Amino acid sequence: MSTPASESLREAEAQPQAPRMSRDEVLRKHKQYLFPCVVTYYTEPLVAARGEMQYLWDIEGRRYLDFFGGILTVSVGHCHPKVTARIKQQVERLPHASTVYATEEMVALAETLARITPGRLEKSFFTNSGTEANEAAVLLARMYSGNFDVVALRYGYSGHSLLAKSLTALSNWRKSGVISVGVAHAVNPYCYRCPLHLSYPSCGVACAEDIEETIRTATSGGIAAFLAETIQGAGGFIVPPREYFKMVFTIVKKYGGLFIADEVQTGFGRTGKHWFGIEHWEVEPDIITTAKGMANGTPVGATIATPEVANAFKGLTISTFGGNPVTSVAAKATIEVIEEEHLLDNAHRVGAYFRQKLEALQQKHALIGDVRGMGLMQGLELVKDRKTKEPAPEATNQFMDRCRDHGLLIGKGGLYGNVIRLSPPLNIRESDVDQAVEIMDKALGQVSV
């Protein structure tokens, strides 16, 4: 017997594909119907239409080598066949259940996360974004510790909610109505522009000691948590010295706090060799927050804690879409691909190759003041003059435009908008790096400072 549902399915199948919009139409509607604060890259905005592994096509059919991956999110390539197949199967079986029912998909992902996260991290709370992951982590730390104050770092980015914005310390992302109640910001470990005007290693990593000074002066003297990205992402791929987090960990514990590692950008092999950035610093965090690259582009967030911390959550909580079956299978498939294709090693090896090529570019182009990063998370800080280190944001925009003209997509960040962020999929090869560096070389030659 034919049901109304099967009739409407037949009808939908009989419909011709809806006509695609033109580039101009998309941009006109973007301007008309979206909040203007949702800014796009490039002098002539790009309209993304489809992706396949390391390539992205715009709506006019131009192919680009994608070295930004939708802000460090496309971990294993656009539409990776394994991830796509799992998503399709799940959409046809059960796209949604909510957290009022247990599902096999959700617990299988949680079990996998317990296996790959460092130390005793074992229990997950799933949400839809990095912002929510950080919100949940801070709330949990306050419940666990009985303290309220949180120490975060200048140049940090934690998300777009009010609490996440108050943790954030980049003025562009904190406009109007953002007040950091219960959040104190310490100086960040930014060796290229040391906030304490010292030099590593003779500085003795004094920036780590500033955490203690901040706790003593800008909090009640006891803290709920210290929250930081292991490599500051939006702040401009700022990599702390190797002693930094161990020193900070000792201080945080002395004042009763939990150590929260924000791995939204650095998670899932991005930094090479390890699953999570913090593992490079040999610290076992109490909580990891993650999102972006975890599910290769499907919306996800996770707050992963030790059992005693997770068990301290008082009352109830819910996230309707948290642990959604489609997202959960996408995340698990992404993790499997990283394991099957040995991508922790690939990110380490190809990342080192990439770094060497970027340092060679720096020798050739005075615009590049600093090269930094880990694995396949590499940044270039562009400056007008290497001595004064005056930031070069206009040249950064020109450079991005020229790279795009030659078929390469890259990102940017930094307080001054002068840091190029490079984050290709973890399964790229040396030949992709060669191509990207060749384009960057050509583009740098076309930038006027």
Ligand X SMILES: Cc1ncc(COP(=O)(O)O)c(C=O)c1O
Applying CB under 6 A, the residues found at the interface with ligand X are 71, 129-131, 134, 157-160, 229, 233-234, 262, 264-265, 291
- Helices 430-445, 343-364: axis angle to 10 degrees equals 20
Query: Phi and psi dihedrals of 226, rounded to 5?
Result: -110, 130
Contact 346, 161 (CB under 8 A): no
CA dist 205 and 211 (Å) reads 11
Q: Give me the least distance between CB of 64 and ligand X, in Å please.
A: 21
Q: Give me the least distance between CB of 258 and ligand X, in Å please.
A: 17
Residue among 130 and 269 whose Cβ is closer to ligand X: 130
Give Cα 91 distance to the centre of its chain.
26
Residue among 77 and 130 whose Cβ is closer to ligand X: 130
Residue among 234 and 367 whose Cβ is closer to ligand X: 234
Is 321 in a helix, a strand, or coil? coil
Residue among 70 and 272 whose Cβ is closer to ligand X: 70
CA dist 440 and 8 (Å) reads 51
Residue among 161 and 362 whose Cβ is closer to ligand X: 161
Residue among 291 and 329 whose Cβ is closer to ligand X: 291
Contacts of 194 (CB under 8 A, 6+ apart): 200, 203, 207
CA dist 63 and 406 (Å) reads 10
Three-state SS letters, 334-373: HHHHHHHCCHHHHHHHHHHHHHHHHHHHHHHCCCEEEEEE
Is 119 in a helix, a strand, or coil? coil
* Cis peptide leading into residue 201 (ω within 30°): yes
Contact 66, 55 (CB under 8 A): yes
CA dist 414 and 421 (Å) reads 9
Residue among 65 and 167 whose Cβ is closer to ligand X: 167
Residue among 284, 288, 217, 226 nearest 252 (CA): 226
Residue among 140 and 443 whose Cβ is closer to ligand X: 140
Q: Give me the least distance between CB of 159 and ligand X, in Å please.
A: 4
Q: Give me the least distance between CB of 275 and ligand X, in Å please.
A: 16
Q: Give me the least distance between CB of 19 and ligand X, in Å please.
A: 32
- The residue whose Cβ lies closest to ligand X is 130
Residue among 233 and 297 whose Cβ is closer to ligand X: 233
Q: Give me the least distance between CB of 160 and ligand X, in Å please.
A: 6
Q: Give me the least distance between CB of 263 and ligand X, in Å please.
A: 8
CB atoms within 10 A of CB 315: 5
Q: Give me the least distance between CB of 78 and ligand X, in Å please.
A: 18
Q: Give me the least distance between CB of 229 and ligand X, in Å please.
A: 4
CA dist 55 and 425 (Å) reads 10
Which residues sit opposite 226 in a β-bridge? 151, 259
| Residue 300 one-letter amino acid | V
